[in-house]
Structure 1
Amino acid sequence: MTVRPAAHPRLVLAVLASCGVLVAVMQTLVVPLLPSLPGLTHSKPADVSWLVTVTLLAGAVFTPLLGRAGDMYGKRRVLIIALASMVLGSLLCAISSDLPVLIAGRAFQGAAVAVVPLGISILRDELPPDRVIPSIAMMSSTLGVGAAFGIPAATLVVQYANWHTMFWICLVLGLLNIAAVLLVVPESALRSSGRFDVPGALGLSAFLVCLLLAVSKGSAWGWTSPATVGLFVGAAVIVPLWGAYELRSTAPLVDLRVSARPAVLFTNLAALLIGFAFYANSLATAQLVQEPTSTGYGLNASIVVSGLCLLPGGVAMVLFSPISARISRSRGPRFTLVTGAGLMTLGYVVRLFTSENLVAIVAGATVVAAGTAVAYSALPALIMHAVPVTETAAANGLNTLMRTIGQAICSAIVVTVLTNVVATSAGVTAPTLRAYLIVFVIAGLCALVAVVLTLLIPSPRAIPARHPELAEAGRTT
């Protein structure tokens, strides 16, 4: 039952977008800390890396589960649960330097990524038709905006304050977000029927853990190690069994028949590749500018400077999200996604020839970030064109999951390239410039393939009458 009408759509959007940015910041918050955390926690570097891995795993597992729960039991209710999980995780990380406690806290924080698809679905259900497309565009882009601002913010905190401070800040902001949601955001009356698919949830979780753990840890464990190979085999065995069960279920966690529709399938595959291309930009830029000058191309920048290099990209993402919405309304979300992925491809072409100058590096990274904002903003509109209105949270959760998988694969490939294509100069072993160029080529090709996949998406036809704004955008695609 709707608590109150969404009388102030801008306020609803502002509250939900602030939630999205905060949980996105959580994903990259510890990245600048990783070199220092072994000493701070009296742990091995390999063990500390679990602070990133567990967040990725928790986000991948809980995003589709909470999305489906939101469709069934109330999106605002589940949104608050996800935010509470982030607050609990922040508290654990704020009060302890013990690695197991920190890992548990990061797992709770990772589960909160479901806030973004839940927010998108709330906006679709509650806002006036003329506000739907620009609002979901902004909400979708918060994943990129938060990640882009997270690393610079974390570097400043690490440099000038106790590292626990950033978790205390996030805890307070999380509590404020929960209060704002309770005061401003209405509960949607739209619900899907049936019982929650527990076996499907367990099967999907097992598959994702096997796959993402192998991808995330393969570089450290060895790609041919028994643990890595065993996890890949486990994922390969689980997925067909899970798929067969879901096809027989009357109320599946993931409707595979809907997911196999070209409009959904190609959009999700494009999301995976765009997630890869986006994350490569962040990972490579932050490390590239810190390389020593003895490499012949490195700038020997500080950790703060490396973080600030990503800040213009974050600003570009904020500015380009509303532009993306205007393009979607005039030309359709498919055209918008092609434009965004094409801009990312162009950005990586620029990066191939400008990797030895700080200003040019920032410019190239900003072009990629702008393309990411345009692409991310178009994805939920394409998904919502193709799925029933009662499945929007689950469908957007799956799309967000595909972006997460793309980022996980990207991280593994970037680490593998930068640790194997190296040279030693002046007693320092570091990646060569060729290693970074390989990363840019791979990321650029991913963006280019995303363009091709987007062109294969059929024009949307069946749009819910309650959202003529989406229907109008669909007809122009």
Structure 2
Amino acid sequence: MSETPAPPGKVASGRADAVVVVLAFAGIVVSLMQTLVIPLVPELPDLLNASPSDATWAVTATLLASAVATPVFGRLGDMHGKRRMLLASLVLLTAGSVVCALSDSLGPMIVGRALQGVSSGVIPLGISIMRDELPTEKLASATAVMSASLGVGGALGLPLAALVADHFDWHMLFWVSAAAGLVATALVTVLVPESEVRTGGRFDIPGALGLSAALVCLLLGVSKGAAWGWASGTTLGLFGGGVLVLLVWGAFQLRLPYALVNLRIAARPQVLFTNLASVAYGFSMFAMSLVLPQLLQLPKDTGYGLGKSLLVTGLVLAPQGLVMMVVAPFSARITQARGPKTTLMLGAATVAAGYVVNILLMSAVWQLVLVSCIIGAGVGLGYGAMPALVMGAVPVSDTAAANSLNSLMRAVGTSVSSAVAGVVLAQMTIAYGPLHVPSQNGFRTVMAIGAGTALLALLLASFIPSRRPRPAAGDVAPADASEPAAA
């Protein structure tokens, strides 16, 4: 059977399928890397001969590196080639995994985890490559699958990590990550073409440093606020400094001809409200990741814990990622028929419904499987719609930077969710022997907050301008498509 001819500048249909599979696999590898370390977190102080507070830097380093690298690699991808930056991200992920695999102390582990965090730009870069290279009729389903890869890797990572941790030395987790990174790098090298779309100009180094400083201040305050004290001078100083730097950074970005982030494009209603909804969506999604594992693992003696092992917990949560992948083509069909705004709103409503079900049903394993699948379906719908909304409002030359900014907004939401849920669960506890554990009402409160933020995402999405889906949705943006990358 012969391949379907490709439109000018696009890959042929047969090769397009291979490109989608490879890019989705790369996305799964990146999200898998973030989940593999979860079983080690409670044991890191002993494994690395470090204090508990110092050991948390092995997690914090990944968060900060991810926040800094995502917009930077997105802009570099638009300037110098998205495939090139994708390969650089995967090489750094592999190198970071090897460093972690060889580590027995905290310093090298932090370095390795930071290198792994740099790879977070793989998914927005992959989506941007799809826009440049795939035939228009394949773009909606392909971007939905790529977005779903984030959930698939996260869902499959926990049971895999628990299985490896139970039967092998802990270093094996990172050797697995390194091997997966090598495979992904080889596949991208062989099968993914380099886009000819370039934005030109020079890289905004002051803008990158300014945004990095602001993000580090804000996210460090969020991630360490509970340990340092939310009212402490250090925490408040970080928040205040981050906001001040962000304001100064924004003022300078508006004046630069080749800014790191085109704030005028980011202020377009379709992009602005999509990004705001993404923050709320990321917050809501992550609340489940904090609640369900604890409910599953708390002892039955508490009256509401299910007393399951980490492996069983991972197996219970794994269907969520598979549901996200199954939902991806349906997300694309709804987007093609009704537009991505409708898909995003439907996804937010589904996530909210999942949390309501969780508040009512939380006493059996099957109930939590049901909840994770409902929320997974909602996340799959929403995550598939966000790239379509962003790409429908930005020039082709700004695709990677715009997708990376959207990915960053979701990451900010998940970081804030972790902090808020941590505060709630730390305050609402019951005595269990010599310990205090989160209470059932504490979990219900976090679920209610998750439902509320999902409804907030629904409200924000309703302000996105309605626009009928068009056959050329994968091409240049309407109205302003011809304007320079930095207005």
> TM-score, normalized by length of structure 1?
0.95
* 1:243 aligns to 2:274 (yes or no): no
* 1:27 aligns to 2:34 (yes or no): yes
Q: Is the 8 A contact 2:391 2:474 kept in 1?
A: no
Counterpart CA distance in 2 for 1:331 and 1:93 is: 46
* 1:361 aligns to 2:372 (yes or no): no
Which runs of structure 1 show a deviation greater than 2 angstroms over 4 or more consecutive aligned residues? 2-7, 425-428, 459-471
2:65 to 54, 58, 64: 58
Amino acid at match of 1:453: L
* 1:171 aligns to 2:198 (yes or no): no
Counterpart CA distance in 2 for 1:21 and 1:312 is: 15
Report the CA distance shift for 1:368/1:462 in structure 2 as closer, same or farther (over 3 A).
closer
2:309 to 286, 302, 308: 302
The aligned counterpart of 1:147 is 154
The aligned counterpart of 2:109 is 102
RMSD of aligned alpha carbons: 1.8
The aligned counterpart of 1:203 is 210
1:132 to 126, 136, 139: 139
Q: Deviations over 1:313-356 (max 9, x none)?
A: 11111111111111111111111111111100000000001122
Counterpart CA distance in 2 for 1:16 and 1:389 is: 19
Q: CA deviation at 1:239?
A: 0.9
Report the CA distance shift for 1:96/1:3 in structure 2 as closer, same or farther (over 3 A).
farther
1:176-191 correspondence to structure 2 within 5 Å: 176-191=183-198
> TM-score, normalized by length of structure 2?
0.93
Counterpart CA distance in 1 for 2:260 and 2:322 is: 36
Counterpart CA distance in 1 for 2:62 and 2:441 is: 31
SS of the residue corresponding to residue 424 of structure 1 reads strand
The aligned counterpart of 1:401 is 408
Amino acid at match of 1:459: S
1:231 to 238, 246, 256: 238
Q: Is the 8 A contact 2:392 2:474 kept in 1?
A: no
Report the CA distance shift for 1:128/1:428 in structure 2 as closer, same or farther (over 3 A).
same
Q: Deviations over 1:97-135 (max 9, x none)?
A: 211101100000000010111000000100111111100
Counterpart CA distance in 2 for 1:47 and 1:60 is: 20
1:287 to 294, 305, 310: 294
SS of the residue corresponding to residue 166 of structure 1 reads helix
Counterpart CA distance in 1 for 2:154 and 2:28 is: 8
Q: Deviations over 1:164-203 (max 9, x none)?
A: 1111111111111111111110000000021111111011
Amino acid at match of 1:385: G
Q: Is the 8 A contact 1:294 1:426 kept in 2?
A: no
Q: Is the 8 A contact 1:141 1:376 kept in 2?
A: yes
2:444 to 408, 429, 437: 437
Q: Is the 8 A contact 1:333 1:378 kept in 2?
A: yes
Of residues 448-457 and 298-307 in structure 1, the stretch that sits farther from structure 2 once superposed is 298-307
Q: CA deviation at 1:27?
A: 1.7
Counterpart CA distance in 1 for 2:306 and 2:406 is: 37
Q: CA deviation at 1:364?
A: 1.0
The aligned counterpart of 1:271 is 278
Counterpart CA distance in 2 for 1:400 and 1:84 is: 20
Counterpart CA distance in 1 for 2:430 and 2:56 is: 24
Q: Is the 8 A contact 1:133 1:470 kept in 2?
A: no
Amino acid at match of 1:323: F
Report the CA distance shift for 1:93/1:246 in structure 2 as closer, same or farther (over 3 A).
same
Q: Aligned pair count?
A: 470
The aligned counterpart of 1:475 is none
Q: Is the 8 A contact 2:10 2:133 kept in 1?
A: no
Counterpart CA distance in 2 for 1:428 and 1:198 is: 49
Q: CA deviation at 1:293?
A: 2.0
2:268 to 237, 261, 269: 261
1:376-391 correspondence to structure 2 within 5 Å: 376-391=383-398
Q: Is the 8 A contact 2:394 2:476 kept in 1?
A: no
* 1:412 aligns to 2:419 (yes or no): yes
Report the CA distance shift for 1:18/1:462 in structure 2 as closer, same or farther (over 3 A).
closer
SS of the residue corresponding to residue 54 of structure 1 reads helix
Q: Deviations over 1:409-445 (max 9, x none)?
A: 0111111111111110344421100110010011110
Amino acid at match of 1:190: V
The aligned counterpart of 2:482 is none
Report the CA distance shift for 1:458/1:92 in structure 2 as closer, same or farther (over 3 A).
same
Q: Is the 8 A contact 2:393 2:477 kept in 1?
A: no
Identity value in percent: 47
Counterpart CA distance in 2 for 1:134 and 1:287 is: 34
Counterpart CA distance in 2 for 1:394 and 1:468 is: 16
The aligned counterpart of 1:72 is 79
Q: Deviations over 1:49-68 (max 9, x none)?
A: 11111111111110000000
The aligned counterpart of 2:3 is none
Counterpart CA distance in 2 for 1:462 and 1:237 is: 39
